[in-house]
Amino acid sequence: MKTRVAYVIDDLGLGGAQRQLVSLVSSLAREGYEIEVISLSSERTAYESVLRESGIPVTLIAHSGKWSWSTLGKVHRRLKTFRPDLVHTWLFTADLYGRLAAFLNRTPHVISAMRNTIDDMEPHHRWASRILSYGTNIFTINAEAIRPGLVKQLGIPNRKIRTIYNGIDRAALTAVHSNGHDRQEWNLPCDAQIVLMMARMAPQKDYRTFLEAARIVASECPRAHFVLVGEGELRTQVEAWVEELGLKTRTRILGARRDGWELIQQADVVALATHFEGCSNVVMEAMAAGKPVVASRTGGNPELVVDGQTGWTVPVKNADLFAKALLQLLQNEGEAKKMGRRGQLRIEERFSLERTVKETVSIYTELLSKKKSLSTFATLKRDYQRAYTQSGYQGNFRKMLHTLTNPGFQAVAAYRITRWLLEHRIPFLGAIVQRLAEVWTGVSLPPETQVGPGLLILHFGGIVINGRAVLGENCTLHHGVTIGNRRSGGPSPRIGDRVTLGAGAKVLGGITVGDEAQIGANAVVLEDVPRGGVAIGIPARVVRTKEKTEALTR
């Protein structure tokens, strides 16, 4: 049976997020996923026909206002009919209604795609996102610059956030060629040097700084002309600025266009002046086309543009430095072309659509592979039995009392209860139980961690386990154990069954520790440990394996 994924997005108008969604879901459909797209706009529908032509069903819901019970009801009914395995929401409004509807439908897995920094997120969206985060499995971001705002201002656990950069299908883009007639249509000289800025004419984009920089460039570079592509509520203001700065004869305003790639090919330099940004599709497409880029040093722009190698990033709202960077490229055409070629190679190596699809599929597979094994009560009973057996007290009552008051068992019990609360869509109480348990026991065991039954924590305190780690059955942890990743957002270990980790042991990175292995006190394990192996030292080395032990005892 095909995996069903419902995508909920604000609209299907001409925008970077929408273009990325279309590329992603079209690829996923070819991979065998059953996709449906729900758009909360019946007016902005530019990409609707593209999706339908790809065989992807689209549902349009007319939404208006800050809150609409009607919108929530319609999304809820659509999800109830489609019955997706996963709901993946894109952009702020869809994020709110899509996740609420998914919770109401008890959709097994919910993913929220954060496509921009939270600078322009409205207060009620921040409030809602903070609350809904407890029932959201994973947040995907398209630039590391987005992560700090989610963690610090929305309180989203870092372990829930995964970075998946936008992807460029360069093969599809290079199949489209410019007809070369644009310069004639724009009434520009044949030797004109074109600086292109393609962005919504909205408060996020800093057209004022770009145009002030353009005035400086125009005075020093007579061949320079400026082409603005975009539409929005600031269109009239932008036209007024062009007039005010004396750039009318050197500037062309084209409005919203579908042929962005062809226009980029006509440019000598692509610019993006902005106040804040996620992962800019325009910057990526410019680099894919072999064009040098000048962009504001904010958001995800520095993650794309390598200063002095593929273009330049400059401080926000600094027209003088923006102009200096543009002039450096326009007046050194040979070096500008070299930067363009380096940018093209960078996109091919790090920002391909194939990579985006692969990383998205990996997250889906991770979520869908989580098995429902024993019930919470049965699992907790196994945990209790191990702790009870290990108690050194005599007499059933004393052993029971010691087990129930042992902070190690309490930490495990709190973990099981928190998972049960989240599975039953009671995130608020789950968050309270988790936080109280961490403070009381000194054990950080997030509910996202996969832990088999029979977990025993001895000598509690100072234990930290990453939410992406996997622990098998009947594992034993002593105090000070750390099981986590080696870098933020990186993979975490898979611990087998009946593994013992000594006091202060650290197991880091996407490694595997085999069944019945033993990790010595204070060992730092960075590589796989085989079944039955004994690892000691910093960094840890395997000093004995099960096979060696069996050979010695024969």
Say what the pLDDT of residue 133 is: 84
For 54-58, 459-463, 539-543, which range has the lowest pLDDT when averaged over its residues? 459-463
pLDDT at 488 over 90: no
Q: What is the CATH number of domain 376-552?
A: 2.160.10.10
Beta-carbon contacts of residue 282 (< 8 Å; ≥ 6 apart): 16, 198, 199, 260, 264, 270, 272
Q: What is the CATH number of domain 171-341?
A: 3.40.50.2000
pLDDT at 551 over 50: no
Per the DSSP assignment, residues forming a β-bridge with 544 are: 534
Instruction: Please indicate whether residue 329 or residue 348 has the higher confidence score (pLDDT).
Output: 329
- Split at pLDDT 50, 70, 90, the class of 549 is very low
| C-alpha span between 94 and 240 (Å, rounded) | 34
Distance (Å) of CA 45 to CA 7, 29, 61, 78, 201 = 15, 20, 11, 18, 19
Distance (Å) of CA 245 to CA 117, 218, 239 = 31, 11, 10
- Split at pLDDT 50, 70, 90, the class of 153 is confident
Residues of the chain with CATH 3.40.50.2000: 4-167, 171-341
At the topology level, CATH places domain 4-167 in Rossmann fold (3.40.50)
Say what the pLDDT of residue 177 is: 57
For 247-261, 468-482, 538-552, which range has the lowest pLDDT when averaged over its residues? 538-552
Task: Name the H helices within 311-426.
Answer: 319-330, 333-350, 353-368, 376-390, 396-405, 407-423
Helices and strands counted in the chain (H then E): 21, 28
What predicted TM-score, i.e. pTM, was given to this entire model?
0.64
Chain segment 273-329, per-residue pLDDT in tens: 999 998 898 999 999 999 999 999 998 899 999 999 999 999 999 999 999 999 999
